[in-house]
Amino acid sequence: MPKFTALTFLLYISLHVATGFYIYRKFARLLERYAIKDLKRRQRLAAIVIALLMSLPTLGFILNRFEVLRDSLLNQTVFFIGSAWILWLLIAFAIFIPADGIAALFKGVAWLVNRWLKPWYKRVFLPTREPTPVITALPDAPTSERSKESNESFQRSRREFLKKVAPLTLGFAAPSVITGYSIINNRTDFIVNQMTLRFPNLPSALRGLKIAQVSDIHSGPYMTQRQMEEIAEAVNAFHPDLVALTGDFIASQKEEIEPFVKGFRGLKSTFGTFACAGNHDEWVGIDFFTEAMAAHKEILLRNETRVLTISGEKLNVIGIDFARSNPALLEHALKSANPEGFNLLLCHYPDYFTTAKAAGIDLMLAGHTHGGQISLDAAGLEFYPIDLFYKYPRGLYEEGKEGGQKLYVNLGVGFSATPIRTVSPEIAVITLA
């Protein structure tokens, strides 16, 4: 995890307080507009509940520091509820913040119009009129007219009520429905996605080479050593020639490295297991992984290339540290590559493919996105919010001449931030052709 200083702690607390207060004010306003009885007591109760929910992620972090509590039911319950709350907050903010921004914009425009434009328009374009005589008394309106006015007043009141209540109700209901849907449709059983990828420049000796890719494992409270052993057994069942682990081996703690390396020490393949680091690994310190993985014959590639000779042909297995766009890492790694070899790049961050293509990479394997973890399925149509944030968010991409440069973005097998995912965890088995 990024270095935790007094300043980051202060920012963390400030952000939590501001977030909690923002949501509380929204909910308190909703109670006011529904004219809830015993309003003050209910608002105080809402404040207490929101404060408790806001404290859960921090409580989970503290519990996770104690090894005896790390795998306890208490820690997992706190972490799950806290994660569901974070998911709810993210969706709520995606609704409230744009809505508040638009409302503020309209209010600003209305203020300018009323404060400056209207007076100016009246002074310049409207003639001065004589004051209208004041009528102090009016005859009673007929009963039918009074009834009509009463009905119009009722209709206007109802419209005003809906105008004030509906947006807030939607703002709270939508994230609640989506979070509930995600929990109900939570998918923890991984799928095995088998595919054949064709390359016009593939050496004949590499045809049929089978690569198994596992990504975003996140060893920790929701990925135990036993679960990782089961994933390794599933990989072995396909008898791969090479195994690629494309980063984020742990969730957040250095202590999670040992279960990870032990969980995958049973991997079997013809040419070995190769890996690249992800951002979570970088937070803890990549150096901690190198020795631990080497002890179990798992090779962590750090801006370097291992050249494999397969029936006389060369396969460059290239791995770089976590990078979003730094071309220097790949340039350094390629110095030890065979210029005639087929280039296989392991890189955690998928949008690095733009850099990889320019460097002549044939196949890049990535992860990082988890497919967003959450997708929405309605009327047979799926919406992946992650697609809005990455150029290459998930799945297969074929570019270059005759589609000869390819990227596969693995959906990952673990969880990040929240143990909720409606996108199925994935193991990819790729055959070259």
Cα(34)–Cα(169) distance, integer angstroms: 10
In this prediction the pTM is 0.72
Find the range with the poorest average confidence among 126-130, 239-243, 355-359. 126-130
Cα(154)–Cα(336) distance, integer angstroms: 80
350 burial type by CB count under 10 A (0-12 exposed, 13-18 middle, 19+ buried): buried
Q: What is the pLDDT of residue 136?
A: 60
Quick check: 89 and 179 in contact, CB under 8 A? no
Domain boundaries, the chain: 1-127+149-184, 191-432
Q: What is the pLDDT of residue 158?
A: 54
β-strands 395-399, 405-409 pairing = antiparallel
Q: What is the pLDDT of residue 274?
A: 97
* C-beta contacts of 330-336 below 8 A and 24+ residues apart: 330/303, 330/355, 330/356, 330/359, 330/361, 331/359, 332/303, 332/304, 333/301, 333/303, 333/304, 333/305, 334/305, 334/359, 335/305, 336/304, 336/305, 336/307
pLDDT tens profile 68-124: 776 678 877 887 787 778 778 877 888 888 888 888 898 888 888 888 888 877 777
pLDDT tens profile 302-355: 999 999 999 999 999 999 999 888 999 999 999 999 999 999 999 999 999 999
β-strands 210-214, 242-246 pairing = parallel
Phi and psi torsions of 401, nearest 5°: -65, 125
Q: Is 327 left (phi over 0), alpha (psi -120 to 50) or beta?
A: alpha
β-strands 191-197, 342-346 pairing = unpaired
- Of 424, 417, 419, 415, the closest CA to residue 394 belongs to 424
Question: Is the model more confident about 393 or about 63?
Answer: 393
Cα(114)–Cα(97) distance, integer angstroms: 26
Q: What is the CATH number of domain 191-432?
A: 3.60.21.10
The upper half-sphere exposure of residue 245, i.e. CA atoms within 13 Å in the direction of its Cβ, equals 33
Q: What is the mean pLDDT of the chain?
A: 85
